[in-house]
Chain A
Amino acid sequence: MGLINNIKSYSETLNLSAEKKGLFNSFLQNGFPTIKDEDWKYTSLKKIIAEDFSIEKTGNDIDTSAISKHSLSFKNQLIFVDGKLISSPQIKGVTISAYADFESRNNDAIMNLNASLCNNGFNISVAKNTVVEQVIEILFFTTTENNFSQYRNQIIVGENSEIKFVEKIQNLNNSTAFVNYFTQINCDKNTNVEFNKIQNNTSNSILIDNVDIYQKDNSTCDVNTLIFGGNFTRNNLNFEQNGNNCESNMNGVSVLDDNQFADNHTFVDHKSAHCRSNEMYKGVYLGKSKGVFNGKIMVRPDAQKIDAFQSNNNLLLSEDSTIDSKPQLEIYADDVKCSHGCTIGQLDEDALFYMRSRGIGVEEAKAVLTYAFASEAIDNISVSEVRLVAQKLLADKLNVDLDFSL
C-alpha cells in the first residue's frame, strides 16, 4: 500500500493523454523526493507517503456556517469543496473559470505529479488596465477523510492591472488531509499583485505548496506566507524576473509548536536589470517543532544594478525545537547589491529584564517580545484585514493580550 500505489490505481481510472502519461511516468520514475535530494535534505516525506490515502475523493456539501467560520468575509470569494468550485465572484475585467489545463516549466517530481493527474483548480485572467480594489478570497475545503488532493491554478494579470488575493486551505474533518498545490502567476508589464497565504490548517494537515511567479517590466509582486497551523508544510516560492524594474517581495511568519513542521524554500531568479527583491522570513519555534528555510537568490549576468535583500530570523524558544536555515546566493553580475542575514537565537535577556522591571510577568514578557519579533513581517502586509487576522492568530498562538486600537 502507501500513497504511490493508491495514486497509480487512481491514474488508471483516468483517461490520460500521451503527454500526461509521459509526465506521470517521469513522476513514477523518481517517486517522491527523499532527503538525498539537496532540496529536501531537511524535509522528509517518508512517513507521510507510507500512509494510506484515498485520492481525490469527494464528500458532502458543506453549510455556509463552516465557510464563514474560516473566511475573512471578503465580498469576492472563490470557494472549492473537495476539488469542486462551488462559488465564484463576478468582477468587472476579471474572468474566472474552473480548472483549465496549462503548461508550466516547473518539472520536479511533485510538479509532474500535479501536472499529470490534477484536474481541479482555477484560472483567473485579469484584463489590461484593470484595478481590482476588492480583495479576492480563495478558500479550499476538504471534507473527506484521509484524502490526497491536488490543485492547479493559474493567474494571468494583464498590463497596468492590480489585484490582491488571500488564500486559505482548510481541512474540515479530524483526519489527515494531504494537498499538493500549484499556482502559477504571470504578471505582465506595470502590474501590481499581492498574494497572501494564511496557512492555519488543522494539526494533522499536510501541504506541499508551489507558487511560480513570472514577472515582466515594472511589475511588483508580493507574496506573504503566514504559517500558524498544519502538521507538515512545504512552501516552494519561485520568482522569475523577466523584465527591467521588477520588484519581488516576500514576507513570511512561521509560529510553530508541538510537532509541527514547516519548510520555506524560496528562489528569486534575477534575470533582468534594475530589479529588486526583498525577503523577510521570521520563525518562532516552540515545543518539538521544526523549521527549514532555504533562500536562493540567483543573479544572472544581465541582471545589473539589482538590489536583493534577504533575511531569515529565528527564535528557538524550547530545548527540543530546531531550525535549519540556508541562504544560497549565486551572483554572476558585477554591479549589484546583494545582502542577506540569518539569525538563530533566544529572546534578549536585557529586554526581558527591562519588561519585568516594569511589572510585566516573565511569561507575558516572553510572549510580548516574541510577538514583537514576529509582527515585523506582518506589518509589511498591505491588506489591513489580513494584517489584523495575522496579528490575532499570532497573539492567540503566543497567548498575548494586545489591544491593537491604541
Chain B
Amino acid sequence: MLKINNLKAGIEDNQILKGINLEIKAGEVHAIMGPNGSGKSTLASVIAGKEEYEVEGGEIDFEGQDLLDLTPEERAHKGVFLSFQYPVEIPGISVSNFIKTSINERRKAAGLESMPAKNLLKMLKEKMELLSIDKGYLSRNMNEGFSGGEKKRNEIFQMAMLEPKLAILDETDSGLDIDALRIVANGVNKLRTKDNATVVITHYQRLLDYIVPDFVHVLYKGRIVKSGGKELALELEQKGYDWITKEADKQWA
C-alpha cells in the first residue's frame, strides 16, 4: 500500500528526515517510536503534505502513485488520514458541518453525489456510539474549548467517519487518561480491516498494549535505525532508547 523510498525532507536549511525507507501493506499496523526530535512528526506531516516541509529527495508511493505529486486534499481523497498531534481549533464551524464538508468533498473528488442527510446522520450515530461520544458534541465548534482528550477523540471520530485506507496516528495517546485511551484504542481496533493500514507514532509502549502492532520501527536522527516485531516495543520500554541510539551514533561516526 505505502512504500517510502529514501525520503529526505526538512524545514528551511535543516534536514530532518535523512533517508527513510518503509513499506506498509494492507491490513498491517506499524508503530514508529523514537526519542524526541528524531523526526516522527515530520514524517507524518510530510506524508500528509504539510507545505512548510521541503522534500529534498525520495518518494512516497501510495498504491502506485507518488504522494509527493499531490496536494494535501488529494492525498486525503486517496485515503490518507493524519490524526494530528495538536488538532487545530476552528471557531464558527460545528463538528457536524466540518465532517459533512470533509465527506462530501471527498465524494465530489470521486465523482459521487453528496451523501444523503439520512445516511450521514445514521453513520454519525454509529460512530459516536463506537467512541462513546454524546450527541451535544456535534453542534460544538470544531475543537474549540475541547480538552486534550476530547480533541484526540475527535480526531479518531473523524477517522471513523472518513474511513481512510492509511491512518497515521501522531501521538494520539498524549493527553489521554487511561479510560479515554482504552476507548480510542478500541475504536481504532474496530476500524481495522484487511484492506486498511495504521501507523501509530508514539513515545511510549502504553498505547501499544491496546493497539498491537505487527511491526515496530525506531526512528533516530531522521533514519529508521531498528525494526522488529511487537516485542521490540517492550524491550524499548525496559531498556530505553540508549542502546539503539549509541550503536547508531557509533556507526555514523
A→B interface (CB under 8 Å): 348-351, 353-362, 364-365, 368-369, 371-373, 375-376, 402-403, 406
Contacts and interface: CB of A to CB of B under 8 A. Distances in A.
B50 interface: yes
A372 B92 contact: yes
B88 A359 contact: no
A372 B90 contact: yes
Contacts of A353: 50-51, 72
Contact of B90 (A351, A357, A359, A402): A351
Name the residue among B76, B101, B162 with the largest chain A CB count within 10 angstroms. Answer: B101
A362 B74 CA distance: 10
Given A359-B77, A406-B97, A354 B90 contact: yes
Contacts of A371: 92-93
Contacts of B89: 351
A355 B101 CA distance: 10
Nearest to B99: A358
B74 to A, nearest CB: 9
Contacts of B81: 357
Nearest to A373: B92
A402 B92 CA distance: 12
B164 to A, nearest CB: 10
Contacts of B51: 353
| Nearest 3 A/B pairs, CB to CB | A372-B92, A359-B76, A356-B72
A372 B101 contact: no
A406 B94 contact: yes
Contacts of B76: 356-359
Given A351-B88, A351-B90, A368-B93, A358 B100 contact: no
Contacts of B93: 368-369, 371-372
B117 interface: yes
Interface stretch (B4-12, B102-110, B177-185, B202-210): B102-110
Contacts of A369: 90, 93
B15 interface: no
A361 B91 contact: no
Nearest to A356: B72
Nearest to B79: A359
Please indicate which of the listed interface residues B88, B89, B94 has the most CB atoms of chain A within 10 Å of its own CB.
B88
Contacts of A350: 88
Contact of A359 (B50, B96, B102): B102
Contact of B71 (A362, A368, A403): A362
Interface in B46-63: 48-52
A368 B73 contact: no
B43 interface: no
B161 to A, nearest CB: 10
A357 B49 contact: yes
Contact of B91 (A355, A358, A364, A372): A372
A348 B88 contact: yes
Contacts of A364: 101, 105
Contacts of B175: none
A360 B73 contact: yes
B32 interface: no
Contacts of B52: 349
27 contacts: A349-B52, A355-B98, A356-B71, A357-B73, A357-B84, A358-B158, A358-B162, A360-B101, A360-B102, A361-B105, A362-B71, A364-B101, A364-B105, A365-B73, A368-B101, A369-B90, A369-B93, A371-B92, A371-B93, A372-B91, A372-B93, A373-B92, A375-B92, A376-B91, A402-B101, A403-B97, A406-B117
Contacts of A354: 84, 87-88, 90
B49 A356 contact: yes
**Most-contacted residue by chain A among B72, B77, B82, B158 (CB, 10 A):** B72
B75 to A, nearest CB: 8
Contacts of B75: 357
Contacts of B101: 360, 364, 368, 402
Contacts of A349: 52
A356 B73 contact: yes
A406 B100 contact: yes
Nearest to A350: B88
Nearest to B120: A406
B179 to A, nearest CB: 26
B72 A357 contact: yes
Contacts of A358: 76, 98, 102, 105, 158, 162
A226 to B, nearest CB: 16
Given A351-B89, A364-B101, 4 more contacts: A359-B76, A360-B101, A368-B93, A402-B101
Contacts of A373: 91-92
A372 B96 CA distance: 14
Contacts of B90: 351, 354-355, 369, 372
A179 B42 CA distance: 57
A376 B92 contact: yes
Nearest to B77: A359
Which residue, B48, B76, B77, has most C-beta atoms of chain A within 10 A?
B76
A368 B73 CA distance: 15
A355 B138 CA distance: 17
Contacts of A362: 71, 73
B85 to A, nearest CB: 12
Most buried by B among A354, A362, A368, A376: A354
Contacts of B94: 406
B60 to A, nearest CB: 15
Given A362-B71, A369-B90, A406-B94, A357 B82 contact: yes
A135 to B, nearest CB: 25
Contacts of A348: 88
